[in-house]
Amino acid sequence: MPPAAGFATKRLGKELQKIHNSLPPGIDLVSAENFEEWFLDIRVLDSNPLYKDQTYRLKFKFSSSYPIEPPEVVFVKLPDRPIPIHPHIYSNGIICLDLLGQQGWSPVQNVESVCMSLQSMLTGNTKDERPPGDEDFVRANRLRPKDIDFFYHDNNV
Amino acid sequence: MDSDDDFMSAVSSEDDVLPDDSENEDMSDAEDFDFDDEPDPDLGMSKDFGVKKKVPFDINFKVFHPSDIQKQQDDLINEVNMILDISKEEAAILLRHFRWNKERLLEDSMDKQRQVFEAAGLAQTSAGPPRLETIPGFVCDICCEEGEGLQSFAIKCGHRYCVDCYRHYLSQKIRGEGEAARIQCPADGCNLIIDSRSLDLLVMPELTGRYHELLNRTYVEDKDTLKWCPAPDCQNAIECGVKKKELDKVVPTVACDCGHRFCFGCILNDHQPAPCELVKKWLKKCADDSETANWISANTKECPKCNSTIEKNGGCNHMTCRKCKHEFCWMCMGLWSEHGTSWYSCNRFEEKSGTEARDAQARSRVSLERYLHYYNRYANHEQSARLDKNIYQKTETKMVQLQKESGMSWIEVQYLNSASQALQTCRQTLMWTYAFAFYLARNNLTEIFEDNQKDLEMAVEALSGMFEKNVTELSDPKLKVEIMDKTAYCNKRRIILLEDTAANLAEGRWTFNVELTSGAAASSSHRR
Ligand SMILES: [Zn+2]
Ligand SMILES: [Zn+2]
Ligand SMILES: [Zn+2]
Ligand SMILES: [Zn+2]
Ligand SMILES: [Zn+2]
Ligand SMILES: [Zn+2]
CATH code of the domain covering residue B177: 3.30.40
Burial of B255 (0-12, 13-18, 19+ CB in 10 A): middle
CA B221 to chain centre: 14
Full domain range(s) for residue A51: 3-147
| C-alpha to C-alpha distances, A19 to A22, A43, A110, A115, nearest whole angstrom | 5, 16, 11, 12
Domain of A80: which CATH number?
3.10.110.10
Could you tell me if B528 lies within 8 Å of chain A, comparing CB atoms? yes
Q: Is residue B428 part of a domain?
A: yes
Do both B491 and B422 map to the same domain? yes
Full domain range(s) for residue B59: 3-65+220-263
Q: Is residue B458 part of a domain?
A: yes
Query: CA-to-CA distance for B110 and B328, rounded, in angstroms?
Result: 75
Confidence check: pLDDT of B376 > 80: yes
Please give the positions of B annotated as active site.
316
Q: Residue A60 is inside which H or E element, if any?
A: strand A55-61
Q: Is residue B152 part of a domain?
A: yes
Query: CA-to-CA distance for A135 and A92, rounded, in angstroms?
Result: 10
**Which one is predicted more confidently, A144 or B92?**
B92
Q: Residue B420 is inside which H or E element, if any?
A: helix B414-439
Query: CA-to-CA distance for A34 and A37, rounded, in angstroms?
Result: 6
The residue among B379, B210, B386 whose CA lies nearest residue B315 is B386
Asked whether the beta carbons of B110 and B88 are under 8 A apart, the reply is no
Q: Is residue B421 part of a domain?
A: yes
The long-range contacts involving B128-136, CB below 8 angstroms and separated by at least 24 positions, are B129/B197, B130/B155, B130/B195, B130/B197, B130/B198, B130/B201, B131/B201, B132/B163, B132/B201, B133/B160, B135/B160
Q: Is residue B352 part of a domain?
A: no
Do both B183 and B235 map to the same domain? no
**Which one is predicted more confidently, B423 or B22?**
B423
Q: Would you state the pLDDT for residue A39?
A: 97
Instruction: Taking the CA atoms of B346, B351, B353 and B359 in sequence, report the sign of the dihedral they define.
Output: positive
Chain A residue with the nearest C-alpha to that of B525: A151
Mean pLDDT across B94-114? 90
**Which one is predicted more confidently, B2 or B389?**
B389
Number of domains comprising chain B? 3
Q: What backbone phi and psi angles, to 5 degrees, belong to B500?
A: -65, -50
Could you tell me if B233 lies within 8 Å of chain A, comparing CB atoms? no
- Please report which ligand is nearest the Cα atom of B331: 6
Confidence check: pLDDT of B344 > 80: no
The residue among B135, B142, B155 whose CA lies nearest residue B198 is B155
Mean pLDDT across B436-459? 93
Helix/strand/coil for B60: coil
Q: Is residue A152 part of a domain?
A: no
Tens of pLDDT, residue by residue over A120-141, are: 999 989 999 888 778 877 776 6
Active-site annotation holder among A40, A44, A74, A96: A96
Do both B280 and B259 map to the same domain? no
Number of domains comprising chain A? 1
Query: CA-to-CA distance for B223 and B101, rounded, in angstroms?
Result: 9
Asked whether the beta carbons of B223 and B64 are under 8 A apart, the reply is no
In this prediction, does ipTM exceed 0.85? no
Rounded to a whole number of angstroms, the distance from the CA of A21 to the nearest CA of chain B is 16
Mean pLDDT of chain B: 78
Query: CA-to-CA distance for B400 and B394, rounded, in angstroms?
Result: 10
Query: CA-to-CA distance for B105 and B95, rounded, in angstroms?
Result: 7
Do both B52 and B132 map to the same domain? no
Q: Would you state the pLDDT for residue B512?
A: 92
Asked whether the beta carbons of A61 and A36 are under 8 A apart, the reply is yes
Q: Is residue A104 part of a domain?
A: yes
- Please report which ligand is nearest the Cα atom of B251: 4
Do both B248 and B280 map to the same domain? no
The residue among B95, B100, B69, B97 whose CA lies nearest residue B84 is B95
Tens of pLDDT, residue by residue over B210-235, are: 898 888 888 888 888 999 999 988 98
Could you tell me if B157 lies within 8 Å of chain A, comparing CB atoms? no
Interval between CA B226 and ligand 3 midpoint (Å): 13
Closest in B177, B186, B204 to A107, CB measured: B186
Interface subset of B 188-217, CB within 8 angstroms of A: 188-189, 203-204, 207
Could you tell me if A68 lies within 8 Å of chain B, comparing CB atoms? yes
Q: What is the pLDDT along chain A (157 residues), one digit of tens a residue?
A: 456 667 899 899 999 999 999 999 999 999 999 999 999 999 998 889 999 999 999 999 999 889 999 999 999 999 999 999 998 898 989 888 878 877 788 999 999 999 999 999 999 899 998 887 788 777 766 666 666 655 554 444 4
Q: Is residue A157 part of a domain?
A: no
Q: Would you state the pLDDT for residue B257?
A: 94
Q: Is residue B99 part of a domain?
A: no
Exposure of A154 in the CB half-sphere (CA atoms within 13 A): 10
Query: CA-to-CA distance for B227 and B64, rounded, in angstroms?
Result: 10
Tens of pLDDT, residue by residue over B237-281, are: 999 999 988 999 999 999 999 989 999 999 999 999 999 999 999
Peptide bond into A67 cis (omega under 30): yes
Q: Would you state the pLDDT for residue B463?
A: 94
Could you tell me if A124 lies within 8 Å of chain B, comparing CB atoms? no
Rounded to a whole number of angstroms, the distance from the CA of B292 to the nearest CA of chain A is 25
The residue among B284, B234, B227, B233 whose CA lies nearest residue B252 is B227
Per-residue b or e along A104-125, where b marks 16 or more CB atoms closer than 10 Å to that residue's CB: bbbbbbbbbebbbebbebbeeb
Mean pLDDT across B478-506? 95
Q: Is residue A155 part of a domain?
A: no
Kindly list the residues from chain A whose CB atom is less than 8 angstroms away from the CB atom of residue B189: 106
Tens of pLDDT, residue by residue over B145-173, are: 888 889 999 998 899 999 999 999 999 99
